Chains A and B, each alone.
Chain A
Amino acid sequence: MRWRTIILFLLIVGAGFIFMGMTTNEIANEITLGLDLQGGFEILYEVHPVNEDQEVNRDLLNQTYAALERRVNALGVSEPELRIEGEDRIRVRLAGVEDQDTARSILSTQAHLSFRDVEDNFMMGGENLKEGSAKAVIDEYNQPMVQIEFKDADLARQVTTALRGQPMVIWLDYEEGDSFEEEFSKEMAGGDPKYISAPEVKEVLSTEGVITGLESFEEAQELAALLNAGALPVELEELTARSVGASLGEQAMDLTVRAGVFAGLLIALYMMVYYRLPGVVAAVSLSFYVYLILLVFNWMEAVLTLPGIAALVLGVGMAVDANIITNERIKEEIRSGKTIRSSFRAGSKRSLGTILDANITTLIAAGVLFYFGDFAIQGFGLMLIVTIILSFFTAVLGSRLLLALLVSSRAFDRKPRWFGVKESDISEL
């Protein structure tokens, strides 16, 4: 009996577990969770032209994308996902947003600011604002307001001269049919008017102005951020909207992780009881597999979603399968009367082709799903590909290396029971 290989086996396994134990928490914490696991929302927008001259093309989509991106950044969301889909769609995915309602309205508002008279005639548009000049402040009466600067001082002067002594109505996203009169009577009745404010023009303005009538400093900040991010060049329609509350996501996360841990333990236990020594090796390589999956996921900066976790747990099943195929082969060889060592060699060799074929077919299916699938299907296909490749490495290379160390120590020669084979089942050569 050679102790050297057994000690090497113990060293590898021991070092592996210590390393995993030290780093797993850190890796798990770094993984980005999908919105179904931490709350957040996902919206698929369809881009509509604002007027008849406009044509929805790649340029316009890119402009819209950039405008949305600026808004998302103004919201301060970490790791937003935006992407253009098809001819006229943009998908926005924001995980971990606390105030979903505000975020949604900030995203989809055109943020087209207009200054109108009381008869709703257009006087001046938001284009006349200096880029990046809007600033939220609080005046001496503790009222929140937004300071703005005009590009064209002459135009501002003209407008304010014409409106002197009258209210200048400031609208965000004025739509055909909106009327100041109607909204004003709403405000008188204690309601919330659609326009932002209607301050009276007391003096002629040229380069600077303020927007008042805001409810809170937060609202002023939002408006300033919106004005700075610029108007959307298009109208956005929500085709699909999905939002998940934070507590619901957290509950889903906790329960799924618990179920996954339980399933892993159950599988490891089953393997050890059924396959004995090779089963222990399988359980060890399984834990390596789960660790590697998390590691690779982190490297790829992939987003872990609920189906992703499910695929991971299933991947454990697939990794187990390669172990099972090999171990069954080894058992068959032992039963046929070969020595333990040559059974291991023959079993490993003969099972490789089978495992390869099974993995490649599944890989092909996963590849098609990844390449041709829709957004939702794609993520799943990617998860499957990673799973298959890693399970192949750990279950074929990892398990075999470890088992080879044990077998070559000769400690288990003529001990078929350690491999789950009864002496009475072995046929004489």
Chain B
Amino acid sequence: MNFNFKDKALDVVGHRKGFFAASAIFLLVGLVFLLLMGLNLSVDFEGGTQLEIFSPEPLFSVDEVADVLTVEGMEPDDIRLAGNENEIVEVLYIGTLTKEEINQAESVLAEQFGDVEVSESTVTPMVARELAVKAIYTTLLASVAVIVYVSIRFEYRFAVAAIIALFHDVLFMIGVFAIVRLQVDLTFIAAVLTIVGYSINDTIIIFDRIRENMKVAKLKTTQDLQQLVNQSVKETLPRTLNTSITVIFASLCLYLLGGEGIRNFSFALTVGLLSGTYSSIFIASQIWFVWKAREFRKKAAHA
């Protein structure tokens, strides 16, 4: 097996409008879902109490649990089964429960199902909001820092293009989660942050090659520039694909074999990795090309 695209015609710049359109359509669909239905936020961001009931023997059904837990004053708002053999039940309450209420729930569960273990997660809405705001704020700050560095090392066009690709990936992840209605919790933030690092990394490698090739190239027309970008993407393609394949191996392993606690995390990661690979091949350098070509034409007009 070998990825060798040296002699293959590969015009990723020429088809850029198609790639831009594909991304725009998907992000738009995601946005519509996001606006209409919002995200399926966990108690981490919404506030409330979530109980996770773990049984050594899987014997749960949603109805059973609902029957047992529906006590006056504390009806669960959502119940779902989880784990490979439904050995875990997640019960969500929108308002926060007090310690006494949780103890009560625990004792009725023990009465009905015997030896179960209850894990709890309670967050007050105020703290939940703070957390979300801080996460967004930190991500933006990280982006700015990266723009500054890349602008110094490369040029600001590369920096901005890399950041657009990055936002593409983050929005893609959020969009997918809005569509598939998976729960967004603290680990989702961790996944987004990982993708922030990965996406930049992935894109920079290609830009680095463009910069290197520009040093020796004599560019006269925008066709030359297009040629150069295509060439650079093609040269780095084996690396892009191999790195993506190995990292996606890792995140798929976590998704398929890892436990319930990191299932959503690794799903988010896999989605982000796919988007990151796509955007670094088909979006980032194309944005840079459009921008750079405009400058090219301006210069040509002056000459």
Q: Which residues of A contact B (CB under 8 A)?
A: 36, 41, 44, 101, 104-105, 238-248, 251-252, 254-256, 258-260, 262-263, 266-267, 270-271, 273-274, 306-307, 309-311, 313-314, 316-318, 320-321, 324-325, 328, 331-332, 335, 353-354, 357-362, 364-369, 372-374, 376-377, 380-381, 384, 420, 422, 425
User: Which of the residues B150, B250, B257 comes within 8 Å of A258, measured between beta carbons?
Assistant: B257
Q: Which of B2, B124, B138, B266 is A374 in contact with, Cβ under 8 Å? A: B138
**Which residues of B sit under 8 angstroms from A381, Cβ to Cβ?**
193
Tell me if B127 and A240 are in contact (CB < 8 A).
yes
A328 / chain B contacts, CB cutoff of 8 Å: 236, 238-239, 242
Asked whether, in the complex, the Cβ of B146 is within 8 Å of the Cβ of A361, the reply is yes
Q: Which of A240, A270, A310 meets B266, CB within 8 Å?
A: A310
The minimal Cβ–Cβ distance linking A384 to chain B, given in whole angstroms, is 6
B residues near A314, Cβ cutoff 8 Å? 194, 198, 247, 250-251, 269
**B residues 154-197 touching A (CB-CB < 8 Å):** 186-187, 189-190, 193-194, 196-197
With a 10 A CB-CB cut-off, give which of A238, A263, A331 has the most chain B CB atoms. Answer: A263
- Residues of B1-32 whose CB lies within 8 A of A: 1-2, 4, 6
Cβ of A374 and Cβ of B134 under 8 Å apart? yes
Q: Per a CB cutoff under 8 Å, which of B119, B187, B196, B254 touches A248?
A: B119
Q: Determine the chain B residues whose CB is within 8 A of the CB of A251 once the complex forms.
A: 54, 259
- If A266-B249, A360-B149 touch, whether A310 touches B54 (CB-CB below 8 Å) is no
Please indicate the chain A residues that have their CB under 8 angstroms from the CB of B134 in the complex. Answer: 373-374, 377
Tell me which residues from 34 to 58 in chain B have a Cβ below 8 Å from any Cβ of chain A: 52, 54, 56
Q: Is the CB of A321 within 8 A of B259?
A: no
B246 x A364 contact (CB < 8 A): no
Give the 6 A-B residue pairs with the shortest CB-CB distance, closest first.
Answer: A317-B247, A245-B117, A255-B259, A259-B257, A263-B253, A368-B142
Given A365-B196, A373-B138, A377-B193, does the pair A262, B201 have CB atoms closer than 8 Å? Answer: no
Complex partner residue of B257 from A238, A255, A317, CB under 8 angstroms: A255
Assess whether B218 is interfacial by the CB under 8 Å rule: no
Secondary structure call for the B interface: helix
Shortest CB distance B237–A (Å): 9
Chain B positions within 8 Å of A366 at CB level: 197
Indicate if B262 sits at the interface (CB-CB under 8 A): yes
Interface residues of B (CB under 8 A from A): 1-2, 4, 6, 52, 54, 56, 88, 99, 103, 117-124, 126-127, 131, 134-135, 137-138, 141-143, 145-146, 149-150, 153, 186-187, 189-190, 193-194, 196-198, 200-201, 204-205, 208-209, 235-236, 238-239, 242-243, 245-247, 249-251, 253-254, 256-262, 265-266, 269
- CB pair B200 A361 closer than 8 Å: yes
Question: How many Å lie between the Cα of A308 and that of B257 in the bound state?
Answer: 17
Residues of chain B with a CB closer than 8 A to A331's CB? 238
Across-interface contacts of A324 in B (CB, < 8 A):
239, 242-243, 246
List the A residue with the shortest CB-CB distance to B154.
Answer: A357
Q: Is the CB of A310 within 8 A of B254?
A: yes
With A239-B124, A255-B258, A318-B201 as contacts: A310 and B190 at CB distance below 8 Å: yes
Closest to A275 in B: B242
A263 touches B142 (CB 8 A): no
Chain A residues, Cβ within 8 Å of B238:
328, 331
Contact in complex: B250, A247 (CB < 8 Å):
no
Q: Are A266 and B117 in contact (CB under 8 A)?
A: no
Of B138, B190, B265, chain A has the most CB atoms within 10 Å of the CB of B190
